[in-house]
A = this chain, B = another copy of it.
Amino acid sequence: MSKVLVTGHKNPDTDSISSAIAYAYLKKQLGVHAQAVRIGEVNKETAYALHYFQVDPPVFADEGVRQDVEEIILVDHNEAQQSIDDREKYNVVEVIDHHRIANFETMAPLYYRAEPVGCTATILLKLFKENNVDIPKDLAGLMMSAIISDSLLFKSPTCTDEDVQAAKELARIADTDLESYGLEMLKAGADMSDKTPDD
């Protein structure tokens, strides 16, 4: 079985990085040879979260990593222009996302899970539960960080009650104080120079 890459969008934010890591973990628990990758630099906010929870960043999806890969899974985006270069070379077998759908087309049926919530990690929490897979403490911390990031600590208009409840549940698993950690993480990323226009 050749490996499946799990990738977020270009100029990756904390949701794209954390959701790639968390979903690759879930797929591996389900027997899929999945590898989380990134298609851009880790920003300061995400670096803070990765360091805090002691998780390595995903590898950059260079030529070597892409070698012999035929299938990819998209998290936190679907539009072609935000996606991995040469996407048309791959078979997109799954998408987990919370954005509108545009510039997206497949040749074959796929698993596509979009929900109108504020963060991909909120959907991933449901997927872990639906598949009866426990979330490790460190990954729960990253998923919580993703929700804090996309929702600006629940202040964004895209934030739903489901995001708030998910973040609280993940904070309990991560054994982390949501508010104080969240403020520190947002502060670490507050140098806006490497923020992307869309979350």
A residues contacting B by CB (< 8 A) are 98-117, 130, 158
Q: A101-B101, A130-B130 are in contact. Are A108 and B113 (CB under 8 A)?
A: no
Q: Could you say which residues of chain B place their CB within 8 Å of the CB of A112?
A: 101, 112-114
In whole angstroms, how far apart are the Cα atoms of A112 and B102 in the complex? 13
In whole angstroms, how far apart are the Cα atoms of A160 and B22 in the complex? 27
Q: Could you say which residues of chain B place their CB within 8 Å of the CB of A115?
A: 109, 111
Contact A104 B101 (CB under 8 A): yes
Contact B100 A102 (CB under 8 A): no
Most B C-beta atoms less than 10 A away, residue of A100, A108, A117 = A100
Smallest CB gap from A118: residue in B: B109
Q: Could you say which residues of chain B place their CB within 8 Å of the CB of A100?
A: 105-110
Smallest CB gap from A130: residue in B: B130
In whole angstroms, how far apart are the Cα atoms of A7 and B104 in the complex? 22
In whole angstroms, how far apart are the Cα atoms of A104 and B101 in the complex? 7
In whole angstroms, how far apart are the Cα atoms of A52 and B158 in the complex? 46
